[in-house]
């Protein structure tokens, strides 16, 4: 009877384990991976919503497979509290998370320290830098930070230190002092260990006990013939990479200027062409960037007003006072839009000068030439009304028509017309000839 109860108990326990795995129990999956694995996640650049989302997705993926996460960090921080949010996700992970500031030349400053010290182990590479912690928000300057908020964030970082293998004194030195290289950081207790590269780090981490949200865990990061460790590298995807790239003041400024040029050029052309589509796309990306990067909206409004004045001067065929005033407003708005927002935001002066000169040339010369050329074409087209031509490419509904020695873009007003047919020009839509089938007449 005792043997029977033992057998039944073992069977029930095995069945429960199988059911837990079959139902996708995250606890069972995280605690019993098929083989030891390390997911290397590249955390590079400003911590913005796209990068934060990428890290969070990588964390969830690692929890499903039970892999140890290695965050390779090179970041100056971010705008707002995105890094703090990522830190909370890391602290809630049921798998070990290692933060490594590397390779040589990498930095972890500002709010990115929350990612470093939220991990199970904080490490760095020789030649890398750790700190300073201020400003915590790159959207402001250290002198304008709220002292109470600074005290709160510093206290929170200090409380995280023991969980990452660091000390409160070491974290305090990182936050309040200059950047620490690897040697002094290790000596002050700002990091748990120093490793030259990922291979060296994995060797030093192997067998190290750490704490996770699921409890105590022992790292298995050193591969052997009997127990290989799968090392998987994860980089941010193409869509998030683009969004990550446009989340800087320089990128936003360039996208705004190019977008306005594209829209202005398209306004002088019939229909919707590539310039207009490109302009809309540029402005859409710039709009996303403005949700990430802080800006003085008054300066941006002056920039837009200056562009509008230059465009208006072209449309009324003056290219004089309004163009000069518009260029001055454009330059002033460019300077004010990001000037003084933060010590970390510095739009290059040469870029503003280049954009102002480019706008003057674009509106004062390029747009003027384009409008005059369009008027010449339209004048020539007016003389084609009533003439007969030959279709050189199927009109379905648009194509090419040969009229009076030139091939013109045309549109059928009476259904598809095959190549080789004779057509008569009945009118003009923008810069497109409106034609209809013709029979019994000679061409022009």
Mean pLDDT of the chain: 83
Report the distance separating Cα 200 and Cα 123, nearest Å.
11
pLDDT over 70 (residue 380) = no
Q: At what angle do helices 297-315 and 249-266 cross, to 10 degrees?
A: 20
More reliable by pLDDT, 45 or 139: 45
Q: What is the pLDDT of residue 431?
A: 67
More reliable by pLDDT, 367 or 222: 222
pLDDT over 70 (residue 421) = yes
CATH of the structural domain 386-437, one choice from 3.40.50.720, 1.25.40.10, 2.40.50.140, 3.30.390.30 = 2.40.50.140
The residues, ordered by sequence, that sit 6+ positions from 19 with a Cβ below 8 Å of its Cβ are none
pLDDT over 70 (residue 374) = no
pLDDT over 80 (residue 118) = yes
User: Which part of the chain has CATH 2.40.50.140?
Assistant: 386-437
Segment 53-73, tens digit of pLDDT: 999 999 999 999 999 999 999
Q: What is the pLDDT of residue 369?
A: 66
Average pLDDT of the residues in 33-47: 86
Per CATH, the homologous superfamily of domain 24-241 is: 2-enoyl-CoA Hydratase; Chain A, domain 1 (3.90.226.10)
pLDDT over 60 (residue 46) = yes
Segment 134-163, tens digit of pLDDT: 888 888 877 777 888 888 988 999 999 999
- Confirm if 105 and 82 have CB atoms less than 8 A apart: no
More reliable by pLDDT, 35 or 194: 194
User: Which part of the chain has CATH 3.90.226.10?
Assistant: 24-241
Question: How far, in Å, are 28, 48, 106, 343 from residue 129 at the CA level?
Answer: 38, 21, 6, 20
**How many degrees, rounded to 5, is the angle at CA 12 between CA 10 and CA 14?**
70
**How many degrees, rounded to 5, is the angle at CA 91 between CA 88 and CA 94?**
130
Residue 100 backbone phi and psi in degrees, to 5: -125, 115
Strands (E), 8-160: 37-44, 68-74, 97-101, 107-108, 121-124, 129-130
Q: What is the pLDDT of residue 304?
A: 94
- Confirm if 234 and 58 have CB atoms less than 8 A apart: yes
Segment 295-349, tens digit of pLDDT: 899 999 999 999 988 888 777 766 678 888 999 999 999 999 888 777 677 788 8
Please name the residue that has the structure tokens 């709220």.
146
Q: Which residues pair with 74 in a beta bridge?
A: 44
Segment 157-213, tens digit of pLDDT: 999 999 999 999 999 999 888 889 999 999 999 999 999 999 999 999 999 999 999
Q: What's the pLDDT band for 390 if we cut at 50, 70, 90?
A: confident
């Amino acid at each position: 009877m005792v043997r029977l109860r033992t057998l039944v108990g073992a069977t029930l326990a095995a069945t429960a384990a199988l059911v837990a795995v079959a139902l996708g129990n995250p606890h069972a999956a995280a605690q019993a991976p098929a083989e030891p694995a390390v997911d290397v996640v590249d955390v590079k650049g400003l911590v913005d919503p796209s990068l934060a989302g990428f890290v969070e997705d990588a964390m969830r993926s690692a929890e499903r497979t039970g892999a140890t996460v290695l965050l390779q960090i090179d970041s100056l921080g971010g705008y707002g509290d995105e890094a703090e949010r990522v830190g909370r996700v890391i602290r809630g992970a049921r798998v070990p998370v290692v933060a490594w500031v590397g390779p040589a030349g990498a930095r972890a400053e500002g709010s990115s320290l929350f990612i470093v010290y939220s991990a199970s182990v904080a490490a760095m590479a020789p030649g890398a830098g750790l700190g300073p912690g201020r400003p915590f928000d790159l959207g402001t300057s250290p002198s304008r930070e709220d002292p109470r908020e600074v005290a709160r964030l510093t206290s929170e970082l200090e409380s995280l230190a023991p969980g990452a293998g660091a000390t409160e004194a070491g974290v305090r030195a990182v936050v309040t002092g200059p950047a620490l290289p690897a040697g002094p950081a290790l000596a002050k207790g700002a990091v748990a260990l120093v490793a030259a590269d990922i291979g060296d780090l994995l060797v030093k981490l192997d067998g190290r006990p750490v704490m996770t949200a699921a409890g105590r865990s022992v790292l298995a990061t050193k591969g052997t013939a009997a127990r290989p460790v799968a090392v998987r590298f994860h980089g941010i995807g193409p869509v998030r990479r683009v969004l990550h790239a446009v989340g800087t003041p320089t990128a936003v400024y360039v996208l705004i200027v190019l977008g306005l040029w594209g829209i202005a050029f398209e306004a002088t052309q019939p229909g919707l062409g590539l310039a207009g589509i490109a302009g809309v796309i540029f402005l859409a990306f710039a709009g996303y960037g403005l949700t990430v990067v802080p800006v003085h909206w008054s300066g941006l409004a002056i920039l837009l007003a200056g562009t509008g004045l230059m465009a208006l001067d072209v449309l009324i065929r003056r290219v004089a006072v309004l163009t000069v005033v518009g260029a001055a407003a454009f330059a002033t708005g460019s300077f004010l839009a990001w000037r003084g927002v933060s010590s970390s935001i510095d739009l290059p002066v040469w870029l503003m000068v280049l954009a102002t000169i480019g706008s003057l040339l674009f509106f004062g010369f390029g747009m003027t030439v384009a409008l005059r050329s369009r008027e010449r074409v339209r004048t020539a087209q007016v003389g084609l009304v009533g003439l007969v031509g030959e279709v050189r490419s199927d009109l379905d509904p648009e194509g090419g028509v040969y009229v009076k020695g030139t091939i013109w873009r045309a549109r059928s007003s009476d259904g598809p017309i095959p190549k080789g047919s004779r057509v008569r020009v009945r009118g003009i839509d923008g810069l497109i000839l409106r034609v209809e089938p013709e029979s019994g007449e000679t061409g022009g």
